[in-house]
Structure 1
């Protein structure tokens, strides 16, 4: 495919809907799955301020805008917008809609409906979440055909009738018709057949576009990790945990992707709601949903009912649970997502990768039941440009396919070609097989793949379970380490699988096994020296410093040899080079870098305060990002560094300034550098203060470089500070 064919050339039509040029993949998708595809960017076009899941919107778009014709799409989008405007119930407009139903006699609404049995009257009654009405009588057959109405409710298109009888005890609302906003057609045979027309790469890109992302912006590994998020929808009783920074879309797929998934906000739930209510023997969420996800699951201060945790352990291990005399079975997968407070090296150095979990869940018996630990820190913060403007499956259609594929098991398909290490426990093997099976269903739904196609999926499956087991060995000393390797058929050489953080931070990952850490000095692996051979700026001594060399002092030869001083780490060597003094630079001088100017003075710091009133414009915020790169280079990655910025607010473009600062904050937060900022319009001085005792006074702040073209990626000045010319400026270094 040529670069020109990949360019998304936006051409607004008469309705204002941008029409991106179709790629070859888009053409292939719409040709083979014409009835079940939708242009993904249309969802944001129609959503507005409607708090409705994406699968509801795509269901409507699939009815009215499933086409590649520009005029038809525009008309379809307008039709969906009209339906939402006329029928979707906003909470603040509930009284108005109630009035419309009364005045017109009947009216169609889109709302989330939940049903309960009124035992006193022996009838089912519905509650409409946004419309704010309840006790609406529902026909038993409707409940029988849609049992999820009895649990947490489902989104429906409903025809409501107003019929006031004069009896004040009787509810005037009548449910004339209820239609769940979801597909029920099992198109699996056609889906599997059409898969053969796509290469593996094309199919993975199609799945990425189907969940809303532009595959061109993700690596092959990143795509595979995104697919792991989908495994709970295609695999029964799959237990997944994902912990990582905020804003990476951890919970989005479980609330927006499928009508077969349920996201529990806050991460707290009762045993009665999740498993079974002992009062009425009504089965809970695990009996009705394919996936039950716990949002905001992390939080050391959170408390969990020990009885609930015990039931969860049994269910996650045996697919069954008991409350009272009866033993019940269910197929719901369990997903736990939460935010981490620290970066990976910090957790590896001070605790473990499960450290954020509440104490009741930071339990080896519970964690050993997890099939896969998804490294949330490898997912980028969600940005607008990541979203696709191409075509993908209507999510509800894909969700229905995945729901029906849960009946298939491909967990042993790799055993013809690969053998797992004999040291793996039963739970290790189960975790690998479950993940592999899920990935096979997603990428090769017919179950047929070559050894070369299976191997990346197997390695991915092994890595996720290995991450769980390695951390368990830290938490529980009775856990035995195992060899996470596999052997190809016909070979005797095992192939080891490593977690990525194991290779990134070996001395921290195996902190209790120094022989595994190699010979690197502490800090050397994660720090490095960005500009080897470039000396730091040599300051002129301050007046208080002696300018002449001290007089040599004669000493007698030692009578014994003292032990050699311990070798300094690169960070300690850099810090030792810091000297008090004053440095001046002439106009247009080259060779000046932040590493030279500031590196030795921020080396080893954990708290840094920057005062610079001119961190407002985009290029000035880029300077801040480059300064943080220097901080990253000269500080220990297993420690977290707090950088606080005090600057002025850009009165004209305050929103842009805040957005840019927040983006820098999010980017470096994942690297262990916590950026905070405040606005102070009274300050004029510039300074950098560190908790290691240094005061740096840069005359121009960070704005030391002359302007250059920063929109040309072929320009080496963008990447090499030493090639840039500087303005005339000076820097003073003082010990505090």
Structure 2
């Protein structure tokens, strides 16, 4: 039985998942990594969880947003408060101060922000300043800031302890893959992402779902997915990993997304592994032509430009849109469903692949993870670490036979997608021979070509004069290199 093999191979890195506890933790609005840690902490060897202990722990250490007003009252009256929270830290170059905010309590707009003392920064700079955000125990006090004439009150972070329940041994994970067949491993990945592989009707549905995980393992992988409502695309990009950011609604500005010239700080693209745009048809952009130009440069070269700065970043750009059943056809114009920021041909050409979300079933109870599976936080951290491994690029290069003079963007897209598939499905591979040729073709090369070919078809439809011409309308005929 696959569950038993997962428990035997991964031991302490598995948790028991089922619909009941999924609903319980969903109601608490906790991220997956906090959820799985609590499950492990308060479960017995059979996976039975003590829900009362979980609730007591949460009440004591994980306050709700409404509790912060009480914390502020206690602090201004001389008390110190201490609790577990998600924290973001940045250095203000104008004042020279290191600032923090607690986004789950409303951040700076709600007064959940302040200064980090120099000794805390010095002790934890490798954690606080290198990651876009962290979880940890924070200790806060209130005091006067006498660097200004008014002597304004300010909250200070005087102690910090990172929430780090375990370390990830990437080599162990790679070696563990050898214990599973490709069919078993596909199911391991799906259950790790909080879904039940038994809820899918076919292998094709499973493989289509796994395409959503490709930006988790490969840098600057840009994808577009159009799907009906209710297929779970938002959950994958929002809840599985703290390394990604999903923008849902509202107005997107250049400062928040790319670079803030006033604060001289990079935007979301510089802080996360991927940035997703959810329900793109209803999203608005402040100065859209300016954002479009900046995004085209970023998606091509991986650099964000400020008035006086140039910052290298490696986040993927993910565009998600809802589409009705009458538009489920890659041979017709689907870009009418997408914001003009992304649907103009020069922008669309910079997307590496397309996910036909209508091939993924709507979320139903049978798709909720049910059984022993990899801890989602552990899994997400593994995927993050795989982004830096260059071995897989070399393997993919050896596997591909590329025709003369291929289109550069097509070739880049197919190679990058192939590399992501290899990282996801064959993390144990160290050379070409570690992946059977037929499996590489079926699970890596053909899906990559298919995903890029949809982008090419749409380009031919929306800009036929430029793309629907000999030599441009088809993707390169890349084959497996048997030599």
Please indicate, yes or no, whether the TM-score normalized by the shorter chain is above 0.5.
yes
Match of 2:424 in 1: 442
- Structure 2 CA distance, aligned partners of 1:117 and 1:417? 45
* 1:467 paired to 2:459: no
For residue 86 of structure 1, the aligned residue among 42, 60, 67 is: 60
1:400 to 361, 372, 381: 381
CA contact (8 A) 1:107 1:160 kept: yes
Query: How far apart are the structure 2 equivalents of 1:302 and 1:278?
Result: 17
Change (3 A) 1:467 1:45: closer
Shift of 1:468: 0.5
Between Structure 1 and Structure 2, the one with more helix by share is: 2
Whose RCO is larger (CA < 8 A, sep 6+)?
A: 2
Kindly state the Cα deviation for residue 284 of structure 1 after the two structures are TM-superposed.
2.1
Deviation for aligned residue 1:356 = 0.8
Match 1:427 to one of 398, 403, 409: 409
Report the CA distance shift for 1:444/1:316 in structure 2 as closer, same or farther (over 3 A).
Answer: same
Contact 2:141 2:158 in 1 (8 A): no
Partner deviation per Cα, 1:208-258 (whole Å, 9 max, x = no partner): 001111111222111112221111111011111111111111121111111
Q: How many residues align?
A: 460
Partner of 1:33: 10
Range moving further from structure 2, 262-271 or 447-456: 262-271
Distance 1:201 1:174, change over 3 A: same
Higher alpha-carbon Rg = 1
- CA apart distance, 1:195: 1.1
Q: Distance in 2 between matches of 1:29 and 1:188?
A: 16
Task: Give the C-alpha shift of residue 467 in structure 1.
Answer: 0.5
Q: Which runs of 5+ in 2 are unaligned?
A: none
Q: What is the aligned-residue RMSD (CA, Å)?
A: 3.3
1:205 maps onto 2:197 in alignment: no
Tell me what 1:137 maps to: 115
2:35 to 23, 44, 57: 57
Q: TM-score scaled to structure 1, two decimals? A: 0.57
TM-score with structure 2 setting the length: 0.84
CA distance in 1 between partners of 2:36 and 2:276 (Å): 22
Measure, in 2, the Cα distance between the counterparts of 1:297 and 1:105.
Answer: 45
Mapped partners of 1:28, 1:490: distance in 2:
34
Q: Return the alpha-carbon distance in structure 2 between the equivalents of residues 443 and 431 of structure 1.
A: 18
Q: Are the counterparts in 1 of residues 75 and 81 from structure 2 also a CA contact under 8 Å?
A: yes
How far apart, CA to CA, are the structure 2 residues paired with 1:346 and 1:166? 61
Conserved 8 A contact 1:50-1:90: no
Structure 2 residue aligned with 1:261: 244
Per-residue Cα deviation, 1:495-540 (whole angstroms, up to 9, x for no partner): xxxxxxxxxxxxxxxxxxxxxxxxxxxxxxxxxxxxxxxxxxxxxx
Do the aligned partners of residues 345 and 207 (structure 1) sit closer, same or farther apart at CA in structure 2, a change above 3 Å counting? closer
Question: CA contact under 8 A between 2:234 and 2:278: conserved in structure 1?
Answer: yes
Distance 1:48 1:381 in 2: 18
Q: What is the SS of the residue equivalent to 2:385?
A: helix
CA distance in 2, matches of 1:143, 1:310: 37
Matched, 1:286 2:263: no
TM-fit CA distance, 1:404: 1.5
Distance of aligned partners of 1:309 and 1:214 in 2 relative to their CA distance in 1, 3 Å threshold: same
* CA distance in 1 between partners of 2:79 and 2:92 (Å): 26
Partner Cα distance (1:79, 1:231) in 2: 37
Q: Match for residue 236 of structure 1?
A: 219
- Per-residue CA deviation, residues 644-678 of structure 1 (Å, 9 max, x unaligned), is xxxxxxxxxxxxxxxxxxxxxxxxxxxxxxxxxxx
Q: C-alpha distance in 2, partners of 1:209/1:275?
A: 34
